[in-house]
């Protein structure tokens, strides 16, 4: 029998727990015969949502965990007090090598804190970052960090760039992903000190660095990786979600205004449905916690089965592409470059 | 004869110069008989776009300026070398009391630098900020700073909040505008030091401060003023514009896919047109440079006549509501509060 990829699922995480995780797991297994899943959580709760036919599937295993991390629980509290939580046990399985990746829809802060504590960061990586794909006019763009790191030095931003570039190279098969650094436009006041220093590091590296990009460039698809600190990245992503929802609401309101607009909406239904599917955020669900010694995927807390299934696919893709080993190797190469650049700069008298 | 409000227009600014500014000016005057305009720039260039009937209108005056600030010119260079630019002269007219406000579609950085140099900031205001209205599910939201200040202390953010709140009170007539502070979600890593300190100042003030808001809250309309530093605000606004354009493009592509989708698009045309008008960014064109001893409105560089006209309306509105004097008074009140809060904090032993 071929060696199977194994994903550990935090079955209790997210707003809906096993009610979403189990149906997503079953659909995922239908399409990925090479995978096997470990469902981590309270056995009764899982069994309740698991059809007996699926319970006999040798590719599904239940791993008990007696506790759950609440969605609003303080990360530090979850880390100290919930050592048998479904989230923690799923990460432990990755640490012990029993699973190749872990997927959770639980509390982001707790997931990051626990994953960092259990798995540790890769050599030379100071801080893990959160990355996700977002739709663009041409293809898609990956953006990081999305909220794990509020204040970042130039070195942190540089590390994010290296990790993001290698992730995209691995999972999208792009030989030289174009990397952009998020900044604001006004020429003389361009960026803060950290961003300008990161720009120097990136410009001197062998990454395919294309320079500064602005907030609207993210959605053009002219770059493959957009780097920013976690505060800026999080606000940009959330603001984008806000606008998308606003537009959807306005469009809906207009089509529902009177019988004539309703009729025309009916005529346009196939187009509107296709459009909705295209921009469906569920198709982009699943953010990677990058920089750890293991693959951890965060699903949106409110994800439904379709969205959670997409997060599982991302985990599968990262396992198959061997992204962790690749990032580890690339970080080694590029940090050597950054060090050389810094030495060089130090040798030039100011 | 009643005293007329006078707006000074940088006729050469923006991507299109007098070709856009003059038609916008004429349309504006048609609707606002109480206003008069000073068109600042090269006389021949202005005359070329000014119909002879309009040239005889006593409410229009041309004020010569021999230079122009390029859209990509360094602010410091424009400030030093372009003392007879249309931008500078228009601001000078405000300084000398010959105009009540100035409107320019020119280079943002140069406009801010020049306005700050010529007009100076209001007492107790360290830095001017850029504010604009953006559409929301319920009404609209004002957001600042949008790019003038990259690094902000808690005190700067507090000053922005006071200015933004008073602007909304003045121009929208809301008695107690709800003020939110832009932050990111994760509980324990909530915000950076400046944001947390600004939160304390705001919570202790008599502003109608509703607490932290996230990027997507901006578009709900549950707050009237959203405060952030200029880096975050600029990225959030540009990212939002990027998403809106992406969605518009995707929708267009889908309706143009085949004859059936084109036909359904035709049926839905009245609804789609109404929708487009509703989200039309031109209806939100015009950002205020807040915190100066004079009203300066920045129009988008690529604005067409309709958009520029909207920026003129904003200038008119701010003049009529006496926003500068109101902000000056409010700043005095609220900075007293902030000082008291700081003294109080200093008295408590750590």
- Which residues of chain B are within 8 Å of residue A189 when distances are taken between CB atoms? 75, 109, 147-148, 150
Q: Are residues B170 and B241 in the same domain?
A: yes
Please give the mean pLDDT across all residues of chain B: 90
The pLDDT confidence band at residue B228, using thresholds 50, 70 and 90, is very high
pLDDT digits (tens, 9 = 90+) for A165-222: 999 999 999 999 999 999 997 555 577 889 999 999 999 999 999 999 999 999 998 9
Q: Is the pLDDT of residue B345 over 70?
A: no
- In sequence order, the 6+-apart residues with CB closer than 8 A to the CB of B170 are B318, B321, B322, B323, B326, B327
If asked whether residues B281 and B327 sit together in one domain, one would say: yes
Of B99, B119, B139, which residue constitutes the final position of a domain?
Answer: B119
Asked whether the beta carbons of B213 and B226 are under 8 A apart, the reply is: yes
Binned at pLDDT 50, 70 and 90, residue B186 comes out as low
Domain final position from B95, B119, B143: B119
In this structure, the answer to whether residues A218 and A295 fall within a common structural domain is no
- Scanning B121-140 for CB atoms below 8 A from A yields 135-137
pLDDT in tens, B20-63: 999 999 999 999 988 999 999 999 999 999 988 887 888 999 99
Instruction: Give the pLDDT of residue A185.
Output: 76
* Helices of type H across chain A: 18-31, 43-49, 52-55, 75-81, 86-95, 108-119, 154-172, 193-203, 230-255, 259-267, 269-279, 305-320, 323-347
Q: Is the pLDDT of residue B259 over 60?
A: yes
Same domain, residue pair A210 and A250: yes
Nearest CA among B158, B180, B125, B129 for reference residue B329: B125
Say what the pLDDT of residue B346 is: 62
Judged by CB atoms closer than 8 Å, whether chains meet at B242 and A75 is answered as: no
Least confident of A35-49, A243-257, B110-124, B167-181: A243-257
With respect to residue A244, please indicate whether it lies within any of the assigned structural domains.
Answer: yes
pLDDT category at A1 given cuts 50, 70, 90 is very low
Say yes or no: B349 and B230 in one domain: yes
| Buried-state track B263-285, b at ≥16 Cβ within 10 A, e below 16 | ebbebbeebbeebeeebeebebb
Please check the confidence at residue B202 and state whether its pLDDT lies above 90: yes
ipTM for the whole complex: 0.88
Query: Do B241 and B161 have their domain in common?
Result: yes
The residues, any chain, with a CB within 8 Å of residue B342's CB and separated by 6 or more, are none
How many CB atoms lie under 10 A from the CB of residue A224?
Answer: 25
Please check whether residue A345 lies inside any domain of the structure: no
Residue B312 lies in a domain: no
**Contact check, Cβ <8 Å, A254/B271:** yes
Mark yes or no for CB contact A184/B244 under 8 Å: no
Whether B45 and B111 share a structural domain: yes
Q: Are residues B80 and B178 in the same domain?
A: no
Rounded to the nearest angstrom, the minimum Cα separation between A235 and chain B is 5
Average pLDDT over residues B104-110: 93
Do B86 and B154 fall into the same domain?
no
| Farthest-apart Cα atoms in chain A, separation | 75
Same domain flag for B29 and B60? yes
**What is the domain-level CATH number for residue B35?**
3.40.718.10
For residues A303 and A274, membership in a common domain is answered with no
Q: Which residues of A touch B279 (CB under 8 A)?
A: 247, 250
Domain for residue A350, yes or no? Answer: no
Count of CB contacts below 8 A, A vs B? 215
Mutation test of the interface with chain B: which of A117, A128, A192, A271, choosing the one with the most B Cβ atoms within 10 A?
Answer: A271
Distance CA A291, CA A293 (A): 7
- Of B217 and B268, the structure prediction assigns the larger pLDDT to B217
Q: What is the mean pLDDT of residues B228-256?
A: 90
From the list B228, B235, B249, the residue facing A137 with the nearest CB is B249
At residue B314 the predicted structure's pLDDT band, cuts being 50, 70 and 90, is: very high
Q: Do A215 and B239 touch (CB under 8 A)?
A: yes
Q: Say yes or no: B281 contacts chain A, CB-CB below 8 A.
A: no
Question: A37 and A74: one domain?
Answer: yes
* Count of domains for chain B: 2
Question: What's the distance, Cα to Cα, between the start and end of chain B in Å?
Answer: 64
Which range has the worst mean pLDDT, A62-71, A74-83, B67-76, B180-189? Answer: B180-189
Q: What is the pLDDT of residues A93-133, one digit of tens each?
A: 999 999 999 999 999 999 999 999 999 999 999 999 999 99
Residue that is last in its domain, among B119, B153, B176:
B119
Q: Does residue B314 lie in a domain region?
A: no
Residue A183 lies in a domain: yes
- Predicted confidence at residue B300, as pLDDT, reads 93
Residue A95 located in a structural domain: yes
Residues 76-95 of A with CB under 8 A from B: 76
For chain A, the average pLDDT equals 90
The verdict on A218 touching B (C-beta cutoff 8 Å) is yes
What is the b/e burial string over A306-336, where b = at least 16 CB atoms within 10 angstroms of the residue's CB?
ebbbbbbbbbbbbbebebbebbbebbeebbe
Q: What is the pLDDT of residue A346?
A: 62
pLDDT of residue B348: 53
Mean pLDDT of B237-264: 87
Phi and psi at B17, nearest 5°, equal 55, -140
d(CA A125, CA B6): 59
Q: Report pLDDT for B311.
A: 96
B31 touches chain A (CB under 8 A): no
Domain membership of residue B71 (yes or no) is yes
pLDDT, average across residues B248-260: 85
Q: Which residues of B touch A247 (CB under 8 A)?
A: 244, 247, 279
The whole-angstrom separation of Cα A185 and Cα A197 is 17
From A199's Cα to the closest Cα of chain B, the distance in A is 16
User: What mean pLDDT do residues A144-148 have?
Assistant: 92
> pLDDT tens, A252-303?
888 888 888 888 888 888 888 888 887 787 888 999 999 999 999 999 999 9
According to DSSP, the β-strands at A287-290 and A295-298 are: antiparallel
Pair A61, A9: CB distance under 8 Å: no
Q: Which residue of A lies nearest to B106 if distances are taken between CA atoms?
A: A186
Distance from CA of B12 to the nearest CA of A (A): 19
Structural domain boundaries enclosing B88? 1-119
pLDDT for A350: 42
The whole-number average pLDDT for the span A36-62 is 91
- Least reliable range by pLDDT among A192-206, A291-305, B71-85, B178-192: B178-192
């Amino acid at each position: 029998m071929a060696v199977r990829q194994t994903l550990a699922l935090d079955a209790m995480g997210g707003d809906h727990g096993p009610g979403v995780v189990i149906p997503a797991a079953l659909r995922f297994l239908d399409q990925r015969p090479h995978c096997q899943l470990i469902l981590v959580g309270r056995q009764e709760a899982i069994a309740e949502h698991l059809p007996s036919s699926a319970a006999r599937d040798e590719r599904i295993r239940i791993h008990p965990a007696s506790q759950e991390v609440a969605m609003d629980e303080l990360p530090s509290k979850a880390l100290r007090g919930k050592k048998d939580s479904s989230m923690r046990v799923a990460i432990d399985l990755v640490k012990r090598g029993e699973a190749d990746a872990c997927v959770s829809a639980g509390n982001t802060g707790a997931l990051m804190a626990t994953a960092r504590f259990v798995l540790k960061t890769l050599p030379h990586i100071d801080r893990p970052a959160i990355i996700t794909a977002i739709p663009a006019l041409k293809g898609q763009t990956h953006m990081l960090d999305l909220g794990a790191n509020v204040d970042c030095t130039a070195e942190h931003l540089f590390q994010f760039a290296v990790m993001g570039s290698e992730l995209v190279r691995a999972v999208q098969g792009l030989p030289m992903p174009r990397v952009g650094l998020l900044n604001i436009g006004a020429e003389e006041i361009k960026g803060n000190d950290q961003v300008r220093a990161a720009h120097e590091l990136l410009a001197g590296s062998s990454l395919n660095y294309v320079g500064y990009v602005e907030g609207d460039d993210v959605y053009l698809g002219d770059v493959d990786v957009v780097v920013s600190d976690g505060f800026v990245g999080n606000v940009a992503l959330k603001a984008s979600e806000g606008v998308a929802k606003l537009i959807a609401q306005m469009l809906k309101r207009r089509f529902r205004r009177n019988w004539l607009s309703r009729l025309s909406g009916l005529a346009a239904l196939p187009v509107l449905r296709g459009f909705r599917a295209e921009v469906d955020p569920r198709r982009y669900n699943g953010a990677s916690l990058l920089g750890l010694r293991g693959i951890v995927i965060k699903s949106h807390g409110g994800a439904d089965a379709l969205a959670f299934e997409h997060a599982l696919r991302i985990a599968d893709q990262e396992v198959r592409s061997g992204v962790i080993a690749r990032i580890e190797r690339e970080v080694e190469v590029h940090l050597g470059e950054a060090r050389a650049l810094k030495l060089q700069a130090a040798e030039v008298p100011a």
